[in-house]
Amino acid sequence: MGLWDHIGPMAKTPAPTAIEQGSGLFSVVWDDGTRSEISFRELRLSCPCAECVEEWSGRRTLDPASVPEDVHPAAAEPVGSYALGIVWSDGHSSGIYSWPTLRALGRPAT
Ligand SMILES: [Zn+2]
């Protein structure tokens, strides 16, 4: 058996089958059957866009103090089949969260 036979199926990127907005968090159901929860503020603070992260260094330039405690999505829509685009209540709208990013930020939920 080759290496690829071993890692092949695991290399598939999980994608959400459902994303629900709960109280202060997103609840994501993944196509591998797991579920995770991601708080709105944590997601806002982890925004991967060029306004929040310095592109050449990867340094986060977003000041957490500038983000309201009760920040929440004003709108959230899938971007293609690979990401979630969120317009935040603080007016920030350039954040696009890929599935692996959402996956990495989420905490396992039951
Ligand atoms: Zn951003």
For the chain, domains (ranges, CATH) are 3-109 (3.30.2020.30)
Among the listed residues 87, 107, 79, the one whose alpha carbon sits nearest the alpha carbon of residue 47:
87
Q: What's residue 73's pLDDT?
A: 97
Low-confidence stretches of the chain (pLDDT < 50) are: none
- CA atoms of 85 and 24, how far apart (whole Å): 17
What region, left, alpha or beta, does residue 33 occupy, with left being phi > 0 and alpha being psi -120 to 50 degrees?
Answer: left
pLDDT the model gives residue 9: 53
Q: What pLDDT is stored for residue 12 in this prediction?
A: 75
Quote the ligand 1 centre to 15 CA distance (angstroms): 22
Q: What is the pLDDT of residue 62?
A: 97
DSSP letter at 10 equals G
47 Cα: distance to centroid of ligand 1 (angstroms): 4
How far apart are the CA of 21 and the centre of ligand 1, in A? Answer: 20
DSSP annotation string for 18-55: EEEE-SSEEEEEETTS-EEEEEHHHHHHT--STTTB-T
The predicted-structure confidence for 19-45, as pLDDT tens digits, reads as follows 999 999 999 999 999 999 999 999 999
Distance 105 CA to ligand 1 centre (A): 15
Q: Tell the residue number behind the tokens 């306004």, with chain if given.
A: 51
Q: How far is the CA of 6 from the centre of ligand 1 (A)?
A: 37
pTM: 0.85
Q: Ligand 1 center to residue 87 CA distance, Å? A: 10
Query: What is the C-alpha separation between 103 and 86, in angstroms, rounded?
Result: 16
